Structure 1
Amino acid sequence: MNNAVLVLLCAPFLGAVLAYVLGKMKINLAFWVAEIVGAMLFLASIVIFLNYSDTPINIDYTWIAYGDLKLPFGIYIDHLSIVMLLIATGLGFADIHFAHDYMGDDPDQPRYYAKVLFFIGGMILLVITKDLIGAFVGWEFMGLASYALISFWYYKNSAADAGMQAFLYTRFGDIFILAAIGLLVYYTGTLNLVELNEMANAGELPKTVALVVALFIFMGAIGKSGQFPLYPWLMNAMEGPTTVSALIHGATMVNSGIYIVARLFDFFAYTDALFIVANVAALSAFIGASSALVQKEIKKILAYSTMSHLSIAFVGLGVGSLAAGMLHLVNHAIFKALLFLSAGAVIYIAHHTKDAWKLGGLIKTAPFVALFMAMGSLSLAGVPPFSGYFSKEAVVAAAWANGNEFTKVFVTIAALLSIAYITRLWVLIFLGEPRNEDIAGSVHAPSNLWIRLPLGVLAVVTLFISIWQADIVHFILNGKEEVEPHIAGLAAFMLTGMMILFLIVVGLYVKGLNLLYKIASHHFVQTIHQILFNGYYVERMITWISKTIVVNAVAKAARWFDTNVIDYLVNATVPATQGVYKVFRAGHSGKIGTYMGQFVIGVAIIVIAILIIVKGL
């Protein structure tokens, strides 16, 4: 099993180098290196899963040792780590396989596959390390890789700006992680994630310090997982290739924030920080779901849905149900990877058209893609028997059992709205007739091996994994917790509400477009539409605060200091030098008596200074 761990640690980074170097020699080699390495990583994760007993894999190293200062680097793989490994490597492999056609015409494939493997390696490092230092390194590796992949088409200003925005937003959160590390070293003397949970359970941590640390870590999770208010980068990240979007939203980046909170769940529960987690997440879920209702771009609709569903998973953690939160994270990773790759297939066969309003009727050209995306949509909406139904209902039930009124209302609305925006997206893409003459008749069917195969596998998984929902929870938590029991009345209310919303959306977007246009033309509706379309203007507010208050204030302060302090000191050197010159010039009179007097005064000063020093000693 140690060999499998070694493969997980080293193969992605060595593979990244090989993919780039060999790809420069022959471009197709980049894909095959990535494909082989991706398969190796997934197989290594399966080997660990099949051979795992109830005893965690626990390996200790030292990262840096200097005198008494030691920075540990340990490997710790338990049930939670294994599930995250299977998600990262399994979906990563499917993503690489899909990219064969999707990225097949791109001349920069060596650079692309190198970054993808590095990205997966960062996630692996995060989930298998025992200490916060190693987790932080993996955390930062993913941040660097996400910046590089989002801005992959760097020659487009929009992509370059989106990559920089993702880097800055997530780095803002990462500052708090670094501060949390410093506080833990100073107050607890350990960065071991397992020990921190044990200390919390034993009540050995100062509650105030632990609360501050928990909130700092959650701030980092907010940045990585696209929660309010640091979510705008997640929407603009759609400027990267769709395969990158699938990787970020399904397999790696956004899951890392939830993972770190889940890994320190006992620590968070000890500090009562879960209350804040639940309320921030409920608000984020509502913002994401409501904003997804009016978006035009396929990937932006899915991006807002990612924000909403990750928030639903966070709500599960926040109301004290680690089982419900992690179960929804697992289900979301699968059906969201399916949806993004299906969106990639749509964009690919429609010649990179991303606007859903320009599509339509694609069910005739790509019936299998329509079927697979429908299965992912049903899972996201929470329709039984698909997996999303079980985990989403479990989170809502946990919120109603343990959450406050704010959390209950907002997470329920967000859960209900899922079926509205995802039905709208599917109908716009696949039903009716093409709404753009340039696209009509020009689409082509996707390949069976490279595009349909990973979609089909993911579709089957998101359907049949529902059979093992209880087993997944039992495995992740080692039998320590089960999901909240279904509340019959709540489940009936949710299913009825979803059915009503489904009928309304289908009626408006299939048969009632004229009525929809009339409603949309109303001034009040247009105002609401603009608020939702712009994500409640949070990005503009952050930009305004950054520019007006931070940047401009700092710039004005620096200008004042430069003008009134630096320039003054520089300009004052001339008269000061002239003054010194005049003083010393007066002593050079050419008279012996003046020189002797200066000599005597100098000697006297030296003697007095010596006497003062001697007396002081």
Structure 2
Amino acid sequence: MNNAVLILLTAPFLGAVLAYVLGKAKRELSFWVAEVTGAILFLASLVLFFNYSHTVIDIDYTWIAYGDLKVPFGIYIDHLSIVMLLVATGLGFLDIHFAHDYMGEDPDQPRYYAKVLFFIGGMIILVITKDLIGAFVGWEFMGLASYLLISFWYYKNSAADAGMQAFLYTRFGDIFILAAIALLFFFAGTVDLVKLNEMALSGELNKTVALVAALFIFMGAIGKSGQFPLYPWLMNAMEGPTTVSALIHGATMVNSGIYIVARLFDFFAYTDALFIVANVAALSAFIGATSALVQKEIKKILAYSTMSHLSIAFVGLGVGSLAAGMLHLVNHAIFKALLFLSAGAVIYIAHHTKDAWKLGGLIKTAPLVALFMAMGSLSLAGVPPFSGFFSKELVVASAWEWGNGFTKTFVTIAALLSIGYITRLWILIFLGEPRNEEIAGSVHKPSNLWIRLPLGILAFVTLFIAIWQSDIIHYIVGKEVVEPHVAGLTAFMLTGMLVIFLIVVGLYVKGLNLLYKIASHHFVQTIHQVLFNGYYVEAMITWISKNIIVNAIAKAARWFDTYVIDWLVNATVPASYGIYKAFKTGHSGKIGTYMGQFVLGVAIIVIAILIIVKGL
């Protein structure tokens, strides 16, 4: 098994180098290197899965040693790590496979595949490391790779700006992770993730320090997983290729924040920080779900749904159910990768048109894509028997059983609205007649091997993995799980979803004229603008950054330059003149004056010497 671990640690980075170097010689080679590397990584994860015998792989390693200072970089692989490895490498491989056609005409394929493999490698380091320092390294690798991939088409200003925004927003959160590492290293004497959980369970940690550290770690998770208020980068990240969006929103980066909280679950529970996690997540789920209802771009609708569903998973952790949170994370990764790749297929078919209102009628030209996207949509909405139903139901039930009023209300609304925005998206893309003549006249035919095959695999998994939901929970948690029982909740949720579904179908299939009339009302337009702009959180952050932080620093620097630096420079002339005048008075030309000055100087020196000697 150690060979499998070694492969997981080295293959993505070696593959990244080979993909770039060989791709420069012959462009097609970059894809095949990435494809083979992705397959090897997934096979190595499968080897760990099938050979794991309930004995944790625990490898201690000292990265840096200087005197008494030792910086650890150990490996720790248990059930939770293996599940995350299977998600990251499996979805990563399918994403690379899908990119054969989607990125087939791009001249920069070597650069693309090298960055993708580097990205997957960062996620692997994060999930198999034993220490916060190693996790931080993987965390930062992903942050760098996400910046490079989001701004992949850097010659477009929008893509370059989106990449920079993602980098800055996530770095802001990462500062808090670094602060948490320093706090724990100084006060707890360790950054070992396993030891921190053990110390929390035994009550060895100072509760105040642990709470501050937990909140700092959660701030980092907020940045990476796109929670309130650091979520705007997640929407603008759609400027990158759709295959990148599938990786970021499904397989890797956004899952990292939830994973780190899950890995330190006992530590968070000890500090009572889970209460804050649950409430921030519930608010984020509500913002994401309501904002998704009015978006026009396919990928932005899915981006807001990612924010909402990751928040639902966070709510599961926040109310004390590791099983609910991680189960929804796994299910979300699968059906969200399916939805993003389906969106990629639609964009590819429609000559890179992203506006859902310009599409329509694509079920006639791409019936399989429509079917697979419908299956992903049903899973996201939480319709049985798809996997999303079981995990979302478990999270909502856990919130009603153990959460407060704020949490249960907002997560329930977010869960119900899922069927609204995803049904709206599917109808706009596939039903009716094409609303753009250029698209109607010419569409790409998706290939069975490169585009339809990964979609079919993901659709199959999101349907049939529902059979093993209890097994997945038991595999991750490793013990008996106390399941919440809320009478009538399932009937209430399904009834509410049915009502919302019928309203959306009625408005977007038969009642467009009524919809336009409603949308023309001034009050509705105001609400629409608020939701469309994500509650103006990005605008507020930009305003605060520019007018309070940047301008305040600029004004302070200008004041210091004007009233301190300039004053010092300007004061040199009168100061020099004053010194000149002081010394001039002593040069009178009279012997008596000089002797008096000499005696005074000697007296001062003697007194100083006596004071020093007496002090000693």
TM-score scaled by structure 2?
Answer: 0.97
Aligned to 1:555: 554
Q: Which moved more, 1:342-351 or 1:472-481?
A: 472-481
Contact 1:201/1:267 (CA < 8 Å) preserved in 2?
Answer: yes
Aligned to 2:39: 39
Give, in whole Å, the separation in 1 of the partners of 2:600 and 2:111.
76
Aligned to 2:568: 569
Q: Which moved more, 1:302-311 or 1:211-220?
A: 211-220
Q: Which amino acid aligns with 1:464?
A: F
Aligned to 2:122: 122
Q: Which moved more, 1:308-317 or 1:15-24?
A: 15-24
Contact 1:243/1:344 (CA < 8 Å) preserved in 2?
Answer: yes
Aligned to 2:133: 133
Following TM superposition, by how much is the alpha carbon of 1:488 offset from its aligned partner in structure 2, in angstroms?
5.6
Following TM superposition, by how much is the alpha carbon of 1:103 offset from its aligned partner in structure 2, in angstroms?
1.2
Identity %: 87
DSSP 3-state at the match of 1:71: strand
Change (3 A) 1:519 1:185: same
Aligned to 1:219: 219
Aligned to 1:444: 444
Give, in whole Å, the separation in 1 of the partners of 2:313 and 2:81.
17
Following TM superposition, by how much is the alpha carbon of 1:379 offset from its aligned partner in structure 2, in angstroms?
0.5
Q: Which moved more, 1:574-583 or 1:150-159?
A: 574-583
Following TM superposition, by how much is the alpha carbon of 1:481 offset from its aligned partner in structure 2, in angstroms?
2.2
Aligned to 1:195: 195
DSSP 3-state at the match of 1:285: helix
Give, in whole Å, the separation in 2 of the partners of 1:163 and 1:582.
63
Give, in whole Å, the separation in 2 of the partners of 1:19 and 1:586.
82
Give, in whole Å, the separation in 1 of the partners of 2:399 and 2:546.
38
Change (3 A) 1:580 1:328: same
Contact 1:324/1:483 (CA < 8 Å) preserved in 2?
Answer: no
Aligned to 1:76: 76
Cα shift readout 1:67-103 (whole Å, capped 9, x = no counterpart):
1111111100000000001111111111111111111
Q: Which amino acid aligns with 2:318?
A: G
Aligned to 1:85: 85
Aligned to 1:290: 290
Q: Which amino acid aligns with 2:244?
A: V
Q: Which amino acid aligns with 1:553?
A: A
Aligned to 2:28: 28
Q: Which amino acid aligns with 2:406?
A: F
Give, in whole Å, the separation in 2 of the partners of 1:438 and 1:575.
78
Give, in whole Å, the separation in 2 of the partners of 1:459 and 1:71.
44
Q: Which amino acid aligns with 2:445?
A: A
Cα shift readout 1:133-156 (whole Å, capped 9, x = no counterpart):
111111111111111111111111
Following TM superposition, by how much is the alpha carbon of 1:572 offset from its aligned partner in structure 2, in angstroms?
1.9
Aligned to 1:148: 148
Aligned to 1:343: 343
Give, in whole Å, the separation in 2 of the partners of 1:63 and 1:576.
57
Give, in whole Å, the separation in 2 of the partners of 1:175 and 1:317.
23
Give, in whole Å, the separation in 2 of the partners of 1:589 and 1:480.
100
RMSD: 1.7
Give, in whole Å, the separation in 2 of the partners of 1:88 and 1:562.
52
Give, in whole Å, the separation in 1 of the partners of 2:606 and 2:17.
72
Following TM superposition, by how much is the alpha carbon of 1:321 offset from its aligned partner in structure 2, in angstroms?
0.9
Change (3 A) 1:582 1:343: same
Cα shift readout 1:314-334 (whole Å, capped 9, x = no counterpart):
111111111111000000000
The correspondence of residues 127-276 of structure 1 with structure 2, limited to 5 A, is: 127-276=127-276
Aligned to 2:2: 2
1:516 to 2:515 alignment: yes
Give, in whole Å, the separation in 2 of the partners of 1:590 and 1:80.
92
Following TM superposition, by how much is the alpha carbon of 1:571 offset from its aligned partner in structure 2, in angstroms?
2.2
Contact 1:316/1:399 (CA < 8 Å) preserved in 2?
Answer: yes
Contact 1:339/1:377 (CA < 8 Å) preserved in 2?
Answer: yes
Structure 1: segments with no counterpart, 5+ residues: none
Cα shift readout 1:204-249 (whole Å, capped 9, x = no counterpart):
1122222211111111111111111111111111111111100000
Following TM superposition, by how much is the alpha carbon of 1:606 offset from its aligned partner in structure 2, in angstroms?
4.7
Contact 1:323/1:482 (CA < 8 Å) preserved in 2?
Answer: no
Change (3 A) 1:531 1:507: same
Cα shift readout 1:401-429 (whole Å, capped 9, x = no counterpart):
11111111111111111111001000100
Aligned to 1:321: 321
DSSP 3-state at the match of 1:440: helix
Following TM superposition, by how much is the alpha carbon of 1:581 offset from its aligned partner in structure 2, in angstroms?
4.5
DSSP 3-state at the match of 1:58: strand
Change (3 A) 1:101 1:590: farther
Cα shift readout 1:142-186 (whole Å, capped 9, x = no counterpart):
111111111111111111111111111111111111111121112
Q: Which amino acid aligns with 1:105?
A: E
DSSP 3-state at the match of 1:130: coil
Q: Which moved more, 1:606-615 or 1:545-554?
A: 606-615
Give, in whole Å, the separation in 2 of the partners of 1:339 and 1:11.
28
Structure 2: segments with no counterpart, 5+ residues: none
Aligned to 1:414: 414
Give, in whole Å, the separation in 1 of the partners of 2:115 and 2:482.
38
Q: Which amino acid aligns with 2:289?
A: A
Change (3 A) 1:298 1:586: same
Give, in whole Å, the separation in 1 of the partners of 2:577 and 2:117.
66
Contact 1:91/1:334 (CA < 8 Å) preserved in 2?
Answer: yes
The correspondence of residues 467-616 of structure 1 with structure 2, limited to 5 A, is: 467-481=467-481, 483-485=483-485, 487=486, 489-583=488-582, 605-616=604-615
Change (3 A) 1:33 1:600: farther
DSSP 3-state at the match of 2:62: strand
Cα shift readout 1:504-535 (whole Å, capped 9, x = no counterpart):
11121111111111111111111111111111
Following TM superposition, by how much is the alpha carbon of 1:616 offset from its aligned partner in structure 2, in angstroms?
3.1
Contact 1:474/1:482 (CA < 8 Å) preserved in 2?
Answer: no
Give, in whole Å, the separation in 2 of the partners of 1:597 and 1:155.
80
Following TM superposition, by how much is the alpha carbon of 1:19 offset from its aligned partner in structure 2, in angstroms?
1.7
Cα shift readout 1:83-133 (whole Å, capped 9, x = no counterpart):
001111111111111111111111221221111111111111111111111
The correspondence of residues 88-107 of structure 1 with structure 2, limited to 5 A, is: 88-107=88-107
Aligned to 1:403: 403
Change (3 A) 1:30 1:593: farther
Give, in whole Å, the separation in 2 of the partners of 1:546 and 1:434.
43
Aligned to 2:50: 50
1:393 to 2:393 alignment: yes
Give, in whole Å, the separation in 2 of the partners of 1:471 and 1:422.
28
Q: Which moved more, 1:273-282 or 1:426-435?
A: 273-282
Give, in whole Å, the separation in 2 of the partners of 1:253 and 1:435.
35
Q: Which amino acid aligns with 1:359?
A: L
Give, in whole Å, the separation in 1 of the partners of 2:213 and 2:609.
56
Change (3 A) 1:599 1:26: farther
Give, in whole Å, the separation in 1 of the partners of 2:321 and 2:510.
42
